[in-house]
Amino acid sequence: MVIVFDSSTLILLAKKELLDMFLNNFDGIVAIPKVVREESCNKKTFDALLIEKRIEEEKIKVYEVEKKDLVKKLIEDFNLEDGEAEAIILCIEKGSKILATDDKNAINACKVLKIKFTTAINILIRAYEKQLIEREKALIKLDNLRVVGRYKEKIIEDAKRRVIGLEKWT
Instruction: Indicate if 54 and 132 belong to the same structural domain.
Output: no
Q: Which residues contact 126 (CB under 8 A, 6 or more apart)?
A: 118
Domain range holding 163? Answer: 121-169
Domain count, the chain: 2
The more confidently predicted of residues 152 and 39 is: 39
pLDDT value for 169: 42
Residues 85 and 160 in one domain: no
Q: Give residue 135's region: left, alpha or beta (phi > 0; psi -120 to 50).
A: alpha
Question: What whole-number percentage of the chain has pLDDT above 90?
Answer: 87
Last residue of a domain, one of 80, 101, 118: 118
Residue 149 identity: G
Question: In angstroms, rounded to a whole number, what is the distance separating the alpha carbons of residues 154 and 103?
Answer: 16
As a whole number of angstroms, the distance between CA 101 and CA 70 comes to 19
Say whether both 109 and 160 belong to one domain.
no
Q: Which of 147, 167, 21, 10 is nearest to 86 (CA)?
A: 10
Same domain, 35 and 102: yes
CATH number, domain of 55, equals: 3.40.50.1010
Looking at every residue in the chain, the average pLDDT score rounds to 94
Would you say residue 170 has pLDDT above 60? no
Do 112 and 127 belong to one domain? no
Decide which of 79 and 170 is more confident.
79
Per-residue pLDDT reduced to its tens digit, 62-71:
999 999 999 9
Q: Is the pTM of this model over 0.85?
A: yes
Instruction: State the pLDDT confidence band at 11, using cuts at 50, 70 and 90.
Output: very high
Q: How far is CA 165 from CA 48, 55, 134, 152, 161, in A?
A: 34, 36, 13, 20, 6
The answer on 91 and 10 residing in a single domain is: yes
- Convert the pLDDT of each residue in 72-126 to its tens digit: 999 999 999 999 999 999 999 999 989 999 999 999 999 999 999 999 999 999 9
Q: What is the mean pLDDT of residues 38-43?
A: 96
Closest CA to 70 of 54, 86, 51: 86
Does one domain contain both 6 and 59?
yes
Lowest mean pLDDT among 25-39, 43-57, 149-163: 149-163
**167 pLDDT exceeds 90?**
no
pLDDT of residue 166: 62
Query: In this structure, are 91 and 147 located in the same domain?
Result: no
Per the CB < 8 A criterion, the answer to whether 163 and 125 are in contact is yes
